[in-house]
Amino acid sequence: MHASDAVAVTAHDRRRRFWPANALLTLGAWLVVSPLVLGTLQVTAGVVVVVSSGVALIILSVWLRRGRNPVPPLLVALAFGGWLLLAPSLWEFADGWDAWPLVPIPPSEIVEPTRAMVARAEWNSILAGLLALALAGSVLAAGRRRKGRPARSGRAHRQQVQGPNGRR
C-alpha cells in the first residue's frame, strides 16, 4: 500500500463517516427554506414547526460531525423526525384559525387554494419526518450491527485474508 492509497482510503472513510451529517444538514436546510419554496407562509403553525425543526436538524448535523459519539444527536434526530411526522395533526383549521393562535386566516380566504397550501405544508412535514426517521434509524441500526464485530488492525486483517503463513 502506497502513501497515496492511504490518503485515498482516509478521504473515503471521512466521506463515509460524514454522510449522515451531510444528509441531516441538507434536510434541515430544506425545512428552513421550504415555506418560501412551497408558498406555505400563511400556515403559520406549519412554518414555526418546520423552520424550528430545520434549524434544530442543522445544529444536530454540526454536533454529529464534530462529536465523538454519533448516538445522542441521532436519537434527537429521531425525536425530531417523530415530531415532524405527528405535528400536522395539530394544524387543523377551525373557522379560519391555525391550531395555535398565531396568525388568523380570514374565513373568506379558506377556499380550495388555502386547502392545497395546507396540504403542501402537511406533506412537507410528514415526508421530512419520514426521511429523518429513516436516516437516523438506519445509521443507528448499522452502528449497532457494526459494534458486534471486532475492529481489525492491519496485521490481523492481513493474517485473516492471507492466512497465518502468508499465503492466500
Q: Is the pTM of this model over 0.75?
A: no
Q: What is the pLDDT of residues 22-34, one digit of tens each?
A: 999 999 999 999 9
Q: Cα–Cα distances in Å, from 109 out to 64, 88, 113, 119, 167?
A: 43, 20, 8, 15, 78
What are residue 94's phi and psi, to 5 degrees? -140, 115
The dihedral sign for the CA sequence 82, 85, 91, 92: negative
Q: What is the pLDDT of residues 37-80, one digit of tens each?
A: 999 888 888 899 999 999 999 999 999 998 888 889 999 999 99
Q: What is the pLDDT of residues 92-125, one digit of tens each?
A: 644 444 555 444 455 555 566 777 888 888 889 9
Task: Quote the CA–CA distance of 34 and 5 in Å, as a whole number.
Answer: 41
